[in-house]
Structure 1
Amino acid sequence: MKPTFPAEGTRRLETAEDTRGFGRELGGALEAGDVVILDGPLGAGKTTLTQGLADGLGVTGRVTSPTFVIAREHPSAGEGPALIHMDAYRLVGGSGDPVGELDALDLDTGLESAVVVAEWGGGLVEQIAETYLFVSLDRTTAVEQDPDSEARIVSWGIRQPV
């Protein structure tokens, strides 16, 4: 990740468009080989954030939830890295070899020349990188404060696999 984006932080994002905007900002700082793990409950905004990441990366294709296809590859529209957007939840229970599981998806782009964004990736995907960016999306706190709130609190930080 380029040093133009903070390595860790927390932001309150009031709307889906704010979440996409944060994603665009983060996407502009990501580089080939970066791994991003998105964590949060259903409806927290993981796919919405990834839509912004895709815009920031300048990749092609409509970004939708990868739940039913496990992974989607979005090629770069220019000279930047491709985006591999995956639902790691569907890979859990496989061979236990995350690199092998990802390789078995037969993606056209190698992991070293793409940004990998994994929804539900904790416990599996971080093993493919020396460091990864863990992004947590919390909708509960905002809704407890105001039941009509659309806000989410996004926290992020660079981590190393254990």
Structure 2
Amino acid sequence: MRFRVATLGTVGVMLAATVLVPASPAAAAPTFRVPFPCNQTWSGQTRTNHSPQYAIDFNRANDQGDPVKASAPGTVDVVANLGDTSYGRYVRINHGNGYTTYYAHLSGFNTSVGASVGYGKTIGYVGTSGGSTGPHLHYEQRHNGSAVKARFNGNLALYFGTKNYTRTVGC
């Protein structure tokens, strides 16, 4: 009988610990900002047949060569040129806790692997490299390697369609 009581008591303590100890919270995402200079307005397009689906293509008139800014602080972990395929010239920033951002089809770079970047640091320039059909910025937010719906200043981007975005926070 003692053995059975001890076992039930152990199970009770474990159950109480499970119920009373809250699960650790998920790591919070960075507060991403629009990846362009302050007070500029860009048209962001999302579509179901995009690859990956949650990427945003940003455009504005005469945008070839316009600066692309880091949308959140982090460390640059990829600066690559895939030539005439896929992303072409692109930069990836690691923001920690599994969050990364991709900036693709660039015409040139203004950063290097290992660079620590903050909000608004110019990392490259809008272009039409890779599998692009015209100048624009292909932008992605990822968590643990999977593309996620982008947020700017905590607000979900428009899915699916076209919306104008202006960077006004932190200006």
TM over 0.5: no
* Bigger radius of gyration: 2
Decide which structure has greater helix share.
1
After TM superposition, the score normalised by the length of structure 2 is 0.28
Larger relative strand fraction: 2
